[in-house]
Amino acid sequence: MKKKMLVIGAVAAGTSAAAKARRVDPELEIKVFADGEDISYGACGLPYYIGGTIKTMEKLLARTIEDFARHDIEVRNRCQALEIDPGERTVLLRDLVQNRNFTERYDRLVIATGARPMLLDCRNSNLPGIFTLRTVSDGVAIKEYLEKKKPANILIVGAGYIGLEMAETLSRLGLSVTLAERQPHVAPNMDADMAAKIQEHLEQHGVRVLVDTEIVGFEGQETVQRAFTPSSSFPVDFVLVSIGVRPNTQLAADAGIKLGVANAIKINSRMETNLEGIYAAGDCATAHHRVTGKDVYIPMGTTANKQGRVAGANAAGGSEVFRGVLGTGIARVFDLEISRTGLTEKECMPAGFDFYSHSVECRTAAIPGLAGPIWIKLTASRADNRLLGAQIVGRNNAAKRIDVYAAAITMGARLEDIYDMDLAYSPPFSPVWDPVLVALNRFR
Amino acid sequence: MKKKMLVIGAVAAGTSAAAKARRVDPELEIKVFADGEDISYGACGLPYYIGGTIKTMEKLLARTIEDFARHDIEVRNRCQALEIDPGERTVLLRDLVQNRNFTERYDRLVIATGARPMLLDCRNSNLPGIFTLRTVSDGVAIKEYLEKKKPANILIVGAGYIGLEMAETLSRLGLSVTLAERQPHVAPNMDADMAAKIQEHLEQHGVRVLVDTEIVGFEGQETVQRAFTPSSSFPVDFVLVSIGVRPNTQLAADAGIKLGVANAIKINSRMETNLEGIYAAGDCATAHHRVTGKDVYIPMGTTANKQGRVAGANAAGGSEVFRGVLGTGIARVFDLEISRTGLTEKECMPAGFDFYSHSVECRTAAIPGLAGPIWIKLTASRADNRLLGAQIVGRNNAAKRIDVYAAAITMGARLEDIYDMDLAYSPPFSPVWDPVLVALNRFR
C-alpha cells in the first residue's frame, strides 16, 4: 500500500508542504483539506486587492485545486478536520457541503491550520460593519461593503502592518480614517523613536492617529454607528479590527499535541511535533528565533512557506531543517517604507541583552530626484558587538535594505564585519557610502 | 613640533584620508595636494551631470577647499607632486599656477594619486572630438562640446559601466549611439549569458552594439569624422573612449615603493606600502579580494573611500584595517539594472575554483504594477558549497538585491546558510519568496 500524507490547511504552509512532499516522493498519496472555500492565497495582498492595485481576487490565488490535481495532489475545500486520532493514525473530517463526516487514515500528518484574527472583547463588537481582514472572503466582503454602503468614517483598531496598510488603502479611496492603537505608538513592533516618524507621515496624509487608545464599545442600529473609548466617542460607519491573530490549535491540543508559546504548536527544526509522524507549520506553529534562541510566535507568510516546505519534505521522507526567524517585516505606508529585523530595543530588554543603539539619517541615492530620506536604527550587543537588530523608516527604496542586515544577523555578524562590506554603489542606487554602512559609523 | 601628514591626491581616497586623520588626531598638521583644479568630487555622477539629471557641476562636489579649511586641513589644488624622498621624508611639489617648486616634509604620507583613463593606441586617437570621462573637467568639456558642436553620431568605445551609462545618457539626449566592445559581449565583467540581456535592452533602446570589435583608427579634418574597425568604417562626430584605467604610480615607483598587480601600489590591510610611514589608498592601489584571497586591481569609488579612511586613521596613529573587496558593482542602463558581486564564472576558472552555477528568472514584487523581471545567476564552490558570486540583471528594484549576497559572501556563507534567511516580504517589495532566495532553489 502506498504511504499516505494528510495535510490539514491549504493556505501558505499547507500547500507548500503538499507541493514539496510531491517533489520529494512522486509515489506518495497526498490529500489536503481546507475548511474554507479558498486555497493557496496570498493574504498579504488583501489590502492591495481592496485598494484596487491588485485588480481581481484571482490574482491573490497562487495555485488552484486543478493545479494541485495535475501534480496528483487531492485538495478538498469546505472540509473541516474535527478530530485527530494519533493512535489509529486517522483524522475525522466533515464535508461542509454534504454535511457528513468521514475518516481518513494517514502515515504522515501535517497540521497547517493557521490562525484567526483576535476580536475586540467589548460591547457590540459583532455589529455589521465591523470587520477583520484575514481571508479572501474577508477581503471580498470588505470590498463589497465599501462599494455598496459607501461608509465615510473609518475606524481601524490596531496599527500593526495590516492596520497601517489599510489606513493607506482606505485613505487613498478618499475616506476619512481614524487609526486607534492601544500601545503608546503605531507600529508597535518597532521602537517609539522610529514609530514617531510613521505617525507623523500618517497625519500628513490626513489619518487621525489615536495612540494609548483602547476601543471599549460600539453602538449602532442595523450597522455600526459610533465607537467608544473610555473617555470619548465618535461616529464610525466602518470598523476594521486588526489587533493580531491567535493560532488555531484546539484540534491539535485535543489530540495531545504539545503547545508552546502563545498556544502555538511546539515544533522542532524539522517541524516535528511531540507526536511521531505529525508535523506542524505556519501560523499555527512556533518558530525558533535566531537571535534569542527562544521559541517565538511571529506568524508571517514567509515563515509559513518555509516551514511548510520543510514539513512537507520531512513528512515525505526527506531531511530538511528550518533554522528559524528574525522577525523580519516590511510595509509601505503611503510614501513611507518601514522595515525591521532581529530585535528592537524593546525586545532586547526581556531577552536579557546588554545592548546599545544608534540611529542615523541619510539619503537613499546620489541623484537628487531618485533619493529619499532614510533613518536607520541599529541595536548591538555590548558583550560581543554582535548586531542584534535593525529598523528602517524612509522613502525611495529605503526599507528593503533591511535584508542586508538580516543576512548579516543570520551569519552572526559583529559590527566590525559590516563596516567595510563591499556593497553596490552607483548614483541612481545609493550614495558612495550606502546608508547600510553609514549606520555603522555611529558605533565606531 | 606637531606631526605632519601629507596627502597626495584630493578626490575620494585622499580627502577621506585627510578627514579621517583629523577625527583621529585633532592636533595633526594635515596638508593635501591635488594636481587638478577640482577636489573631492564624485566621478561616478559624471554621466548624470552630462545627461542633466544632476543639474550643476557643483552637485558633484562633496566638499570644498573651504570645508576642509574649517577642519584645519589645508588643501592646495594645482600642485603637482614631482618626487618623494623617503629617506629625508620630503615631497618635492610644483605649484602649477605660480610655476615654482617647493618641498614639504612629512611624518606620514598618504599616496592617493588615483588612475587615468586608458587611451586607444591607434591612428589619430587624439583628434578633437575624442574624449575620455574621468574628471570634472572631462565632464564639463564633454557637456560643452555636445552643446556647442551638436554631434549626431556617437561612438562609445568600451562597454563597461561608464560606457553603458554614457550610452543611456547620450541616447536620451536624442543622439545616435554606437557602442563598440572588443570583448565578445557588453558588460565584460559579467558572464556572457547575463550580458546578452543587457545587449538586447541596449538594442531595444536604439543603441547599435558592436561586440568583438576593435577600433583601429580615426579620420577627420579639424575634428573626428570617421572611425575604423579592421573590416569597416563609419561616420562619427563624437567619441568617448571608456576602456578602463591605469593606476598613477610612477611617482611611487620612482621612490622605491613596491608595485603589485596591474602596477598598482601594493598595500597591506592597513594600507601600508613597503616603506615605513607611507600609505596608499584608492585607485592607485591594490586591494585584497575576499573570495580569492589574492591582490586585485578593481578601482571603485566605494573602495577608494574605505581605503582612504583606513589609511588616514592609521597615518594619524589609529589602528584600522580594510578587509578587502568583492568586486561589487552596479549600474543602470536605461530601465535595466545590472549588478554583480564576488566571482563570475569567467573569474572562477583562473582562480582555480571547482564551481557550478544556476540562473533563475522571477519577479521583483507581488503587485503587478510594481514588479519587474529579475534574472539572478549564482556561482558556488563544489568543494564546500560556499557562495562565490552573484550577478543580477532586471528591472524595478532588481539590482540592489546584490548587497544581500555581498553580505553573505563577506560572512563566508554556504548556500544552505542562505536558503531560509528571513528576508522581508510585503507585496510592494517582493514576492513571498524573495528572488534572492528563489535563486538558491536551483542548487537544492
DSSP characters for B328-349? -EEEEETTEEEEEEE--HHHHH
Q: Which of A45, A341, A426 sits opposite B422 (nearest CB)?
A: A341
CA atoms within 13 A on the CB side of B285: 38
Which phi and psi angles does B407 have, rounded to 5°? -65, -45
**Interchain contact, B430 vs A53, CB within 8 Å:** no
**Continuous segment of H or E residues that includes residue A170:** helix A161-172
Top residue of B168, B400, B411 to mutate, by most chain A CBs within 10 Å, is: B400
Distance from C-alpha of A66 to C-alpha of A63, rounded to nearest angstrom: 8
The C-alpha of A117 sits at a distance from chain B's nearest C-alpha, in angstroms, of: 19
Query: What gap in Å lies between CA B55 and CA B438, rounded to an integer?
Result: 40
Distance, CA of A285 to CA of A278 (rounded, Å): 12
Of the ranges A163-167, B36-40, B403-407, which one carries the lowest mean pLDDT score?
B36-40
Query: What are the grid coordinates assigned to A127, written together?
Result: 455589529
For the record, the C-alpha cell of A22 comes out as 510531491
| Calpha distance B121→A361 (Å, rounded) | 47
Smallest CA–CA distance from B432 into chain A, residue? A302
Grid coordinates representing B161?
559601466
Q: Do A433 and B369 touch (CB under 8 A)?
A: no
Q: What is the pLDDT of residues B369-393, one digit of tens each?
A: 999 999 999 999 999 999 999 999 9
The three-state secondary structure class of B144 is helix
pLDDT for the residue numbered A277: 98
E strands within B314-440?
329-333, 336-342, 355-363, 373-381, 387-394
SS3 B28: coil
- Look up the CATH number of domain B4-116+245-315: 3.50.50.60
Nearest C-alpha neighbor of B413 from the set B326, B345, B337, B288 = B326
A280 CA to chain B: closest CA distance, Å?
A: 17
For strand B4-8 and strand B108-111, is the pairing parallel, antiparallel, or unpaired? Answer: parallel
The backbone torsions φ and ψ at residue B419, rounded to the nearest 5 degrees and listed phi first, read -40, -50
Distance, CA of A318 to CA of A304 (rounded, Å): 18
For the stretch B149-199, pLDDT in tens is 999 999 999 999 999 999 999 999 999 999 999 999 999 999 999 999 999
B332/A429 CB distance under 8 A: yes
Q: Is B422 in contact with A326 (Cβ distance < 8 A)?
A: yes
Chain B residues with beta carbon closer than 8 angstroms to that of A408: 407, 411
Chain A residues with CB under 8 Å of B410 CB are 417, 421-422
**Chain A residue with the nearest C-alpha to that of B306:** A420
Q: Hey, which residues of B are catalytic here? A: 44
Q: Are strands A4-8 and A29-33 parallel, antiparallel or unpaired?
A: parallel
Closest residue to A332, CB basis, from B331, B423, B426: B426
Taking CB atoms and an 8 Å limit, are B324 and A422 in contact across chains?
yes
- For B208, residues 6+ apart whose C-beta sits below 8 A from its C-beta are B176, B177, B178, B179
Beta-carbon separation of B432 and A305 below 8 A: yes
Please report, for residues A313, B187, B202, the alpha-carbon distance to residue B198 in angstroms, rounded to integers and kept in the order given: 38, 8, 6
Q: Name the residue facing B397 among A290, A400, A430 (closest C-beta).
A: A400
So what's the pLDDT on residue A309?
Answer: 98
CATH 3.50.50.60 fits A4-43+60-115+246-315, yes or no: yes
- Render each residue's pLDDT in chain A as its tens digit; 444 residues: 789 999 999 999 999 999 999 999 999 999 999 999 999 999 999 999 999 999 999 999 999 999 999 999 999 999 999 999 999 999 999 999 999 999 999 999 999 999 999 999 999 999 999 999 999 999 999 999 999 999 999 999 999 999 999 999 999 999 999 999 999 999 999 999 999 999 999 999 999 999 999 999 999 999 999 999 999 999 999 999 999 999 999 999 999 999 999 999 999 999 999 999 999 999 999 999 999 999 999 999 999 999 999 999 999 999 999 999 999 999 999 999 999 999 999 999 999 999 999 999 999 999 999 999 999 999 999 999 999 999 999 999 999 999 999 999 999 999 999 999 999 999 999 999 999 999 999 998
Contact between chains at A404 and B399 (C-beta distance less than 8 A): no
Q: What is the pLDDT of residue B2?
A: 86
**Contact flag A301-B411 (C-beta cutoff 8 Å):** no
**A45–chain B nearest CA distance, Å:** 6
CA distance B305 to chain A (A): 8
Q: Mean pLDDT over residues B123-139, rounded? A: 97
- ipTM score here? 0.97
Task: Closest CB to B408: pick one of A44, A53, A411.
Answer: A411
- Across the beta sheet with A238-241, the strand order is A130-131, A238-241, A153-157, A176-180, A208-210
Chain A CB contacts of B48 below 8 Å: 367, 427-428
- A333 neighbourhood in chain B, CB within 8 Å: none
- For residue B276, what is the DSSP state? T
Which helix (H) or strand (E) segment is B118 a member of?
none
Which residues belong to CATH 3.50.50.60 in chain B?
4-116+245-315, 119-241, 335-441
Residues of A in contact with B420 (CB under 8 A): 306, 310, 322-324
Verify whether the Cβ–Cβ distance B404 to A407 is below 8 Å.
Answer: yes
Q: What whole-number percentage of chain B has pLDDT above 70?
A: 100
Q: What is the dihedral angle through the alpha carbons of B41, B44, B45, B49, rounded to the nearest 10 degrees?
A: 100
| A-B Cβ pairs (cutoff 8 Å, strict) | 198
Phi-psi region of B142 (alpha: psi -120 to 50; beta: other; left: phi over 0): alpha
CA distances from B75 to A327, A400, A435, B12, B71 (A): 48, 39, 28, 14, 11
Nearest by CB to residue B410, choosing from A369, A421, A424, is A421
- Helix (DSSP H) and strand (DSSP E) numbers for chain A: 12, 25
- Count of CB atoms situated within 10 Å of the CB of A406: 27
The x, y and z cell numbers of residue A61, run together, are 490565488
Q: What homologous superfamily is domain A119-241 in, according to CATH? A: FAD/NAD(P)-binding domain (3.50.50.60)
Q: Which of A55, A328, A413 sits opposite B423 (nearest CB)?
A: A328
Which residue among B42, B328, B366 places its CB closest to the CB of A423?
B328
Residue B282 scores a pLDDT above 80? yes
- Looking at residue A2, its pLDDT comes to 86
Instruction: Say if residue B1's pLDDT is above 90.
Output: no
Task: Identify all chain A residues contacting B434, using CB atoms and an 8 Å cutoff.
Answer: 403
Residues of chain A with CATH 3.50.50.60: 4-43+60-115+246-315, 119-241, 335-441
Q: Which of A44, A122, A348, A362 is catalytic?
A: A44
How far off is chain B from A232, nearest CA to CA, in Å?
Answer: 35
Interface test with B, best of A59, A269, A392, A403 (most B CBs within 10 A): A403
**B300 contacts A425? CB cut-off 8 A:** yes
- B335-441 CATH fold: FAD/NAD(P)-binding domain (3.50.50)
A317/A23 Cα distance (integer angstroms): 11
